Amino acid sequence: MLSSFLTGFFLGISLIVAIGPQNAFVIRQGILGKHTFYVALFCAISDSLLICLGVIGISFFLNSFISEFSNLLFGLSSLWLFGYGVLRLKSAFKGNTNKEIADSKSKKLRSTILVLAILTFANPHVYLDTMVLIGSISQQFLGIYRITFAMGAIVASFVFFFCLGYGATKLSPLMKRKSSWQVLDILIAIIMFNIAFNLFFAINW
């Protein structure tokens, strides 16, 4: 059982460690020190639910759905991520992140989670990673071993997102300078543009 748990854990870590739109948002909220716990919890629970659906066999149905509607999914996701990247780039060049930080103190948790939900579920890769890939690999395990494999992947999500969020809070003293936020916003914009363009060119024209 330990072997299947560790397989799920390290597979889960390897799939989510890459900086994507969701991770970039978690980092930014961690540095802001705003709703860090709930942001990390939302990401971990979202991953956990998708992993469970994949492991119980939904991955086979989802794989067909993604194949059939991939152009629409990739197109809409590309537009959304590109738009979010533009917002971050605009913030960087205007240098108004300090104002955003002040505004964020009154920003409600619900609106923060709403943006995070869109960044999470509008990205087709989250389904490919958690449901299709992890769900497919889980089929090689039987009975309790499949459950421990899924638990390993779920634990990996909780460990990763909470470490990411609270690790980012340690950077907050370094982010007091306006230029530091400009660099971060530009990096986030580049990540968003890169993912958006990759999704756009993945469309079967």
Reduce the DSSP state of residue 72 to 3 states and report it: helix
Q: Give the per-residue pLDDT at 18.
A: 64
- pLDDT, tens digit only, all 205 positions of the chain: 888 898 889 888 877 876 677 888 898 888 888 899 999 999 999 999 999 988 887 666 666 666 676 677 677 767 877 887 887 788 777 755 555 554 555 468 888 899 899 888 887 778 877 887 787 778 778 889 888 999 999 999 999 999 989 988 887 776 566 677 777 778 878 877 886 787 678 776 6
Q: Give the per-residue pLDDT at 156.
A: 93
Which DSSP state fits 106?
Answer: T
Q: Give the per-residue pLDDT at 42.
A: 96
Q: Give the per-residue pLDDT at 39.
A: 95
Q: Give the per-residue pLDDT at 63.
A: 62
Answer yes or no: are the C-beta atoms of 129 and 43 closer than 8 Å: no
Q: How far is CA 170 from CA 16, 30, 124, 175, 181, in A?
A: 21, 8, 31, 10, 15
Question: Cβ atoms within 10 A of the Cβ of 5, count?
Answer: 19
Q: Give the per-residue pLDDT at 100.
A: 52
Rounded Cα–Cα distance for residues 41 and 21 (Å): 16
Give the residue carrying structure tokens 């992140």: 97
Q: How far is CA 117 from CA 110, 112, 143, in A?
A: 10, 9, 32
Q: Give the per-residue pLDDT at 23.
A: 84
Count of CA atoms in the C-beta half-sphere (13 A) of 93: 6
Q: Give the per-residue pLDDT at 126.
A: 82
Q: pTM higher than 0.75 for the full model?
A: no
